[in-house]
């Protein structure tokens, strides 16, 4: 089952063009979605999740028209937004049971088995009778993962899913997501570019409502091979280097700016060539330096 997005557009009433002719083909497996704040990622995910309308364009999940057949799509959808609401005084088991009913699991015995198995899967079974209001941030996030996976979705959308998780929980979650992604379309929106490289066979970078790259992360890195140079400079030199070179990123190392510059040839003395990584790809595409 493939998710096909064609010429999708959305402009808000304040004139902001959140989606500008977005077209993507997303196959089964883990698909990374990268972009700065305000790029249009959340608008795209909410539209795919049937939570808001597009102005024009189409979205097809297999043979289903996502924009027209919303109820059918919701039965096949798992969605974990950055912020999700629950009834705080309800126990984890009862809340998940309610969500399972909404997903069409009507047999009570089957539903209990599925709910308990899912709570085990996200390491919450021992807390199944506890009110969600008493959960820590990491526990709430694990519950969010459980509610997204209930009912064996064919399309799973997760937005910054590891917020609030410690490193061990984060690794367990990504192992779970990778396992799910063997048979499901999984869209992973995250600001951690290394996670996309390690987990996703394909990805897209969105900026100002437009797709500026779509394809495998490895291919994106290969396109910058031999073109990324770095140099440690003083803070006073930073502005001049930005004027004179295509600076795609800068970060502090031992209190000094370390800049990455895009150039087909050596930019000059003091620069050393480095292997491009996905962060270089991201900044070069977002800053339109290529």
| 109 pLDDT higher than 60 | yes
Q: Tell me which CATH code domain 3-215 carries.
A: 3.40.50.300
Q: Which of 177, 217, 171 is nearest to 194 (CA)?
A: 217
Domain boundaries, the chain: 3-215, 226-274
In the structure encoding, which two tokens stand for residue 207, read together? 């900026």
| 289 pLDDT higher than 60 | no
pLDDT digits (tens, 9 = 90+) for 197-226: 888 999 999 999 999 999 999 999 999 999
SS3 labels along 79-130: EECCCCCCCCCCEHHHHHHHHHHHCCCCCHHHHHHHHHHHHHHCCCHHHCCC
User: What is the enclosing helix (H) or strand (E) of 146?
Assistant: helix 137-149
In the structure encoding, which two tokens stand for residue 26, read together? 């997303």
pLDDT digits (tens, 9 = 90+) for 36-48: 888 899 899 999 9
- Identify the pLDDT of residue 91: 93
């Amino acid at each position: 089952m493939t998710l096909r997005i064609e010429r999708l557009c959305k402009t808000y009433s304040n004139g902001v063009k959140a989606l500008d002719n977005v077209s993507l083909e997303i196959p089964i497996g883990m698909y990374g979605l990268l972009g700065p704040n305000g790029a249009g990622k959340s608008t795209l995910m909410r539209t795919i999740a049937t939570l808001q309308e597009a102005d024009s364009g189409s979205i097809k999940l297999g043979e289903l028209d996502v924009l027209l057949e919303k109820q059918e799509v919701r039965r096949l959808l798992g969605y974990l937004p950055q912020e999700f609401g629950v009834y705080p005084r309800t126990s984890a088991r009862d809340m998940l049971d309610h969500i399972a009913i909404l997903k069409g699991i009507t047999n009570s015995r089957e539903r209990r088995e599925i709910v308990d198995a899912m709570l085990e899967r996200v390491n919450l079974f021992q807390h199944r009778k506890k009110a969600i209001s008493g959960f820590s941030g990491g526990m709430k996030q694990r519950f969010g993962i459980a509610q997204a996976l209930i009912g064996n979705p064919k399309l799973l959308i997760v937005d910054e899913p590891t917020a609030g998780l410690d490193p061990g929980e984060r690794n367990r979650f990504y192992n779970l997501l990778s396992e799910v992604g063997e048979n499901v379309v999984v869209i992973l929106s995250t600001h951690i570019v290394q996670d996309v490289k390690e987990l996703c066979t394909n990805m897209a970078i969105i900026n100002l409502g437009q797709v500026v790259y779509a394809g495998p992360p490895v291919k994106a890195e290969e396109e910058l091979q031999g073109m990324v140079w770095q140099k440690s400079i003083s803070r006073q030199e930073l502005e001049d280097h930005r004027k004179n070179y295509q600076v795609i990123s800068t970060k502090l190392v031992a209190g000094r700016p370390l800049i990455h510059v895009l150039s087909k040839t050596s930019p000059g003395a003091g620069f050393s060539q480095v292997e491009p990584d996905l962060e270089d790809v991201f900044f070069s595409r977002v800053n339109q330096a290529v």
